[in-house]
Structure 1
Amino acid sequence: MDVDQTDSALIAELRKDGRATFEALAGRVGLSRTAARARIQRLLDLGAIRIVGMVHPSVYGLHALGHVSLEISGPAMPIAEKIAAMEDAPFVSVVSGRFGVIAELRSPSMDTFASALDSLRALDGVRNVETGIYTAIVKDTHFPPGRLRPVELDAVDRHLLAALQLDGRAAFSDLAEKVRLSPGAVRARVLRLIDHGVVHVIGLVDTTVLGFTQACGFAVWVARPVDETVASIAQLAQVEYLASAVGRADIIGTLVGATRADVVSALDRLRQIPGVRKLETWSHLTLVKEKYDRSPLEPFPLH
């Protein structure tokens, strides 16, 4: 798939804000509005990018999130595929290093999270499971940025969220028809949902489209306040995912690069960050599952 520098720049902007106007996008990459719109439509038609609303896990009732690392004996793929079949596991990867499989769990409560861990331990070939419970997700294109602010969701809100999950760039006028409100009222509601961290409209893209073919996971143990160190790590451009945690490690993340040299360089910079006491890494060999955009919400009936 041919993606030039201008396409990559548009994709980068849409990954930050999937609802940015064509005028704004055109200005940021040096195109006319018409040219920007045509390029974005081409990227959508080719499947290079999908623009969707990523809803905060708590809206689904998911409050316990964490990272699991599995030491295994025997083939890794059959174990990874069994984990991928679990609804609570949105991310599963076969990796190199001490662990054979890495996964993420998102469960309604710590009790259900613990039950999911028991299911993992019971799988044939799993020798040990190490867990890191997330205390904050700091950097993730699949997760609304910032902290979720308290907000009551009514039937209209849920209809809007369901529509945005399917089409993050749906026009306010089209959304208004679905919920029988004025476009102005719908605009106010959508902006409120975004502002409160309930939904984040982004462009989802396969990083290989951008030339990022190397993915490396890492765990960090720190010798100073975690918030200080994690903030510094988040500044590294190659860091795609970053979370603070308790349990297996203090910080868990993923960085990507176009070449192995890019990854090595990023890891060298990470090691030099003040507070980094210990670093463990693994290479992602086969991505078995990455599905954070869950099925659209079932809206309450509109009255």
Structure 2
Amino acid sequence: MEKIPENTSTRPRHELTHQVISALRDDPRMSVTAIAQNLQAPRAVVAQTVDSLLSSDTIRIVAAVNPSFLGIHVIAHVSIEPRGPVTPIAEFIASLHESVLVTSITGSHSVVAELRTGTHADLHSLLSEIRLHSNVARIDTLIYSNVRKGYHSSRDVSEVRIDDADREIMEILQRDGRASYTSISPRVSLTATTVRSRIQRLEEAQVIQFGVVESRGVTGRQVSVGFGINSSDSLEPLIGHLKEHSDVEFVAECVGRFDVIGTLVSKDFQTIHERIESILSLPSIDKFETWTHIHTHKEDYSRRV
């Protein structure tokens, strides 16, 4: 077993942690050995860092199944102004199968949720159900027209046929995106080599996409700030600017009170402030609104295949 030297590097541990997470964002299934080589850090230290991040739920590595492959064609961002305490309505929405993300936020709305349904009629029925809750005062809804950045981004699925083994592989990877080929092999009665080729085929067909889900809110490692933008010009330059920055985790074009919605993540508010200033310097910004995620009630993108 590799012994961890007492002084392995001059870099602080928190800096190494940030670099490891960045490496996993680039390639969620990157091996510990490859991460250590890329960061020029001892393998044992990197292994310990990855294990700590995963075991503490600071991050989760998951395979997101393309929503359209699952028959999900409508994705909505719902902002809720509560009547009374926030937790009852947040927990109610978190209990709904159609919700994948529910957080308490700062601001008048207090709760935001991402809902996924098969049709607009399904979404309308779901929103009607939410409005009937005694703790709901008002709802604002945005419909994503195109998710431009994010591990569950909009993408066309290639024609692909799947069988029960593929479905089981996807179920496993939705729970643990770093599950090894050898650990999956006996569970689906296939060789590790075959498991690997099947996962590659599902990735190439855009059926699954691996990503990192980080804990957000006051208990998380990161500061997570949502934003909405209205623009008086073409959205492409704006979206291009947003996509090129690693601290912009998510970007979507939408229909509703904003033209673009997104999420900023960073280790501190100073960095968030600097990124917001850079966005506001763009000439096409008409309106810019932010909210801070302070507690996550649910973040679960896994779905039965």
TM-score by length of 2: 0.84
Secondary structure of the residue aligned to 1:156 is helix
1:3, CA displacement in angstroms? 5.0
Per the alignment, residue 111 of structure 1 pairs with: 121
Partner amino acid for 1:157?
A: D
Give the drift of 1:188: 1.6
Out of 129, 143, 146, the position equivalent to 1:133 is 143
How many residues get paired? 293
Distance 1:209 1:287 in 2: 9
State the one-letter code of the partner of 2:67.
P
Is residue 230 of structure 2 the alignment partner of residue 221 of structure 1? yes
Q: What is the DSSP-based 3-state SS (H/G/I as helix, E as strand, rest coil) of the residue aligned with 1:62?
A: coil
Instruction: Indicate the percent of aligned positions where both proteins have the same amino acid.
Output: 30
Q: Which runs of 4+ in 1 moved over 6 A?
A: none
Provide closer, same or farther for how the CA distance between residues 246 and 14 of structure 1 changes in structure 2, counting only shifts above 3 A.
same
Q: After superposition, what is the alpha-carbon deviation per residue over 1:39-68, rounded to whole angstroms, capped at 9, x for unaligned?
A: 433443444433332222234332210111
Give the deviation of 1:35 after TM superposition: 4.8
What RMSD over aligned residues (CA atoms) do the two structures have, in Å?
Answer: 2.7
2:177 to 153, 168, 172: 168
Structure 1 residues 70-117: Cα deviation after superposition (integer angstroms, max 9, x where no partner): 234333332222222222122222223342322111112211111111
Contact preservation (8 Å) 2:58, 2:220: no
| Residue 278 (structure 1) shift | 1.4
Which residue, 254, 257, 274 being the options, matches 2:266? 257
Which AA in structure 1 matches 2:240?
A
The residue number in structure 1 matching 2:64 is 54
Q: In structure 1, what is the equivalent of residue 6 of structure 2?
A: none
Task: Give the one of 268, 273, 279 matched to 2:282.
Answer: 273
Structure 1 residue ranges without an equivalent (≥5): 299-303
Asked if the contact 2:225/2:291 (under 8 Å) is kept, the reply is: yes
Specify whether residues 175 and 85 from structure 1 end up closer, same or farther in structure 2 by C-alpha distance, changes over 3 A only.
closer
Partner in structure 2 of residue 19 of structure 1: 29
- Please point out which of 122, 125, 128 is paired with 2:132: 122
Structure 1 length-normalised TM: 0.84
What amino acid does structure 1 have at the position aligned with 2:186?
E
Pairwise CA distance, 1:197 = 2.2
* Partner AA of 2:146 in structure 1: A
SS in 2 for 1:4: helix
Assess if the C-alpha contact under 8 Å between 1:68 and 1:103 holds in 2: yes
What do residues 4-58 of structure 1 show as CA deviations (whole Å, max 9, x unaligned)?
Answer: 3223212221233221133321221113545544443344344443333222223
- Mean Cα displacement is larger for which, 284-293 or 241-250? 284-293
Which residue is 1:244 aligned to?
A: 253
Q: Aligned AA for 1:263?
A: I
Q: Which moved more, 1:89-98 or 1:101-110?
A: 89-98
- How far did 1:204 drift? 3.2
**2:302 paired residue among 290, 293, 297:** 293
Of 192-201 and 68-77, the range deviating more from structure 2: 68-77
CA contact (8 A) 2:215 2:221 kept: no
